[in-house]
Amino acid sequence: GRMPDASLQNAPLDVLHRVFGYSDFRGDQAAIIDQLVAGGDAVVLMPTGGGKSLTYQIPSLIRRGTGIVISPLIALMQDQVDALRAVGVKAAFLNSTQTFDERREVERDFVAGELDLLYVAPEGLATPRVQELLRQGEIALFAIDEAHCVSQWGHDFRPDYLWLSNLAELWPAVPRIALTATATEATHRELTERLGLRGAKHFVSSFDRPNIQYRIVPKDEVRRQLVAFIREQQAASVDAAGVPVPAAGIVYALSRATVEKTAEFLRAQGIDAMPYHAGLDAAVRAQTQARFLREDGVVIVATIAFGMGIDKPDVRFVAHIDLPKSVEGYYQETGRAGRDGQPSVAWLAYGLADVVQQRQLIDKSPGDRAFKQRMGHHLDAMLALCETVSCRRVNLLSYFGQQSEACGNCDTCLAPPETFDGTVPAQKLLSTVVRLKRERNQQFGAGHLIDILMGKVTPRVEQNGHQRLATWGIGNELNQAQWRGVVRQLLASGLLAVSDDGYGTLVITDASTAVLRGERRVELRRDVHESAGRGSTRAA
């Protein structure tokens, strides 16, 4: 850094005005900047859109030397650097996408003291070449972005981050700032520990995004539900001055195939939707991104890769048509809505198949037992958020260790779900599972279980003689959608499990025994099915 004309012009607020063109600091920004300018360390937990970048960019301009920014988002480095250069900041990056000559030029500039900011990927920093380079120049500070990636218990662990624990020893005099937009209390503790930031000042902003309305609905025919949701959003959309404007939104799905199919379906319904995933040509992706940023009313259907670092303030809705793997992921993705502070909606459709699929993905993943257990805990927390009968926001914030009051603006606050005593249906279902388990080498999923309970005579029921089961036809008090709701909720609460046979067979758990014995009551929520028309309610 070092702004050309020293002292007077070097107050953080002056830099904010002169370089970035903003009038005031937001939230903790000024305090964080003061801490770094004075040579201290900082740990910053601030939600997406909170303004983390300026907290290390401005100190890098004020302090002598170059600010080294460690960021795992290689794809975004070019954009970030371009944006900084556009306002006259001398910024560059080093990563694996560059040619030898490009790297050489950046290295020369750094050593010559001609860079304010240098972005490097964590895997690059761990190499002797980059470490040697850093020793030859002057460093203003280290900024560790996405610092939750150092946490082995978090949802986004990256082994390369572990090397960053060496920074404190190698450069004891250089201030460090670790930043993240998602951290539970455990992750916060762990990253502080691992990055050697015990002496740092901690700046923890509220994670509440009060302008985002959270809605989680049971999945019936998801694409039709999605169209209805998007139409509703687009009809309601006005800008800050109250003028109608087509709403932009992001729809997240897990697989590329779903992304493609969904985008096509939406287009056929007259919605200006475009697919985005890593399998598409880079030029196509860039074009899609540019349209999304510049035009009104574009809906991007994407895998989760989309949105990192995309700074579009007026995204009016984020929809998930597949269940996110963790609350951290959900929070990060929904956080891309409403960065301008205007009312926005986070909508998630989720169903039984999501739970089964996610449990299977965990089982099949190559990780060890501890890894699978961790992923299982992440999923459980996500399921608890989906199934809660109280305020979504309270549940979400408490996951990040923050207390709050019922928000009055989420779906469960606006229409508190009814609950009912589901002990008897749960017992019927569980005892069917127990009976089927006696038949070796047979895989029966939820659909077949429900057919048995509802007394259907399908080919599968006939082939296996399942009309003869004592539980055949004893479940007519609920319809199919309601039974699926029961299965989903039992799975979510650990009273049922998906076996690791790879076929999605349902099995009972230790906890189920108490229900079967009548020692444990099961409280279930009555799902409100959107497909049955607004406001109508069907049980389970």
Residue 209 binds Zn ion (CB under 5 A):
no
| Pick 31 or 236: Cβ nearer ligand ADP | 31
Residue 215 binds Zn ion (CB under 5 A):
no
- Least Cα distance to 157 among 326, 283, 357, 310 occurs for 326
Residue owning tokens 């019927």: 428
Which pair of structure tokens corresponds to residue 39?
A: 């040579």
Distance of closest approach, residue 495 Cβ to ligand ADP, in angstroms: 39
Distance of closest approach, residue 217 Cβ to Zn ion, in angstroms: 15
- Least Cα distance to 76 among 309, 335, 300, 283 occurs for 309
Distance of closest approach, residue 410 Cβ to Zn ion, in angstroms: 3
The site partner of 52 among ligand ADP, Zn ion, none (C-beta below 5 to 8 Å per kind) is ligand ADP
- Least Cα distance to 163 among 137, 134, 131 occurs for 131
Residue owning tokens 């926005």: 344
* Rounded-to-integer distance, Cα 385 and Cα 399, Å: 9
x-or-dash string of contact with Zn ion, 416-455, rule CB under 5 A? ----------------------------------------
Residue 22 binds ligand ADP (CB under 6 A):
yes
The site partner of 407 among ligand ADP, Zn ion, none (C-beta below 5 to 8 Å per kind) is Zn ion
Q: What are phi and psi of 5, to 5 degrees?
A: -100, 110
Residue 407 binds Zn ion (CB under 5 A):
yes
Q: Stretches 60-68, 116-124, 388-396, 519-527: which one binds Zn ion (CB under 5 A)?
A: 388-396
Distance of closest approach, residue 213 Cβ to Zn ion, in angstroms: 9
> What are the CA-CA distances from residue 42 to residues 38, 132, 202, 293, 464 (Å)?
11, 25, 6, 32, 64
Burial class (CB in 10 A: 0-12, 13-18, 19+), 354: buried
Q: Are strands 66-70 and 117-120 parallel, antiparallel or unpaired?
A: parallel
Q: Stretches 47-55, 309-317, 354-362, 400-408: which one binds Zn ion (CB under 5 A)?
A: 400-408
Residue 82 binds ligand ADP (CB under 6 A):
no
CA–centroid distance for 2 within its chain = 37
Q: Stretches 129-137, 225-233, 390-398, 493-501: which one binds Zn ion (CB under 5 A)?
A: 390-398
Residues of span 50-79 touching Zn ion by CB under 5 A: none
Burial class (CB in 10 A: 0-12, 13-18, 19+), 265: middle
Site for ligand ADP (CB under 6 A): which residue of 17, 18, 26, 135? 26
The site partner of 225 among Zn ion, ligand ADP, none (C-beta below 5 to 8 Å per kind) is none
Which pair of structure tokens corresponds to residue 54?
A: 């300026």
Residues of span 38-67 touching ligand ADP by CB under 6 A: 46, 48-54
- Geometric angle at alpha carbon 193, from 188 and 199, rounded to 5°: 95
Distance of closest approach, residue 200 Cβ to ligand ADP, in angstroms: 18
| Pick 52 or 155: Cβ nearer ligand ADP | 52
Residues of span 285-324 touching ligand ADP by CB under 6 A: 311
Who contacts 524 (Cβ-Cβ below 8 Å, separation ≥6)?
419, 420, 421, 422, 425, 426, 485, 486, 489, 540
Distance of closest approach, residue 413 Cβ to Zn ion, in angstroms: 3
Q: Stretches 116-124, 176-184, 402-410, 480-488: which one binds Zn ion (CB under 5 A)?
A: 402-410
| Pick 48 or 334: Cβ nearer ligand ADP | 48
Residue 339 burial (CB count, 10 A): 20
Site for Zn ion (CB under 5 A): which residue of 209, 359, 393, 484? 393
How big is the site for ligand ADP, counted in residues (CB under 6 A)?
14
Phi-psi region of 22 (alpha: psi -120 to 50; beta: other; left: phi over 0): beta
Looking at 225-304, which runs of residues are DSSP E strands?
248-252, 273-276, 299-302
Q: What are phi and psi of 142, to 5 degrees?
A: -110, 125
The site partner of 51 among ligand ADP, Zn ion, none (C-beta below 5 to 8 Å per kind) is ligand ADP
The site partner of 184 among Zn ion, ligand ADP, none (C-beta below 5 to 8 Å per kind) is none
The site partner of 49 among ligand ADP, Zn ion, none (C-beta below 5 to 8 Å per kind) is ligand ADP
CA–centroid distance for 181 within its chain = 10
* Sites of contact with Zn ion (CB under 5 A): 391, 393, 407, 410, 413
* Sites of contact with ligand ADP (CB under 6 A): 22, 24-26, 29, 46, 48-54, 311
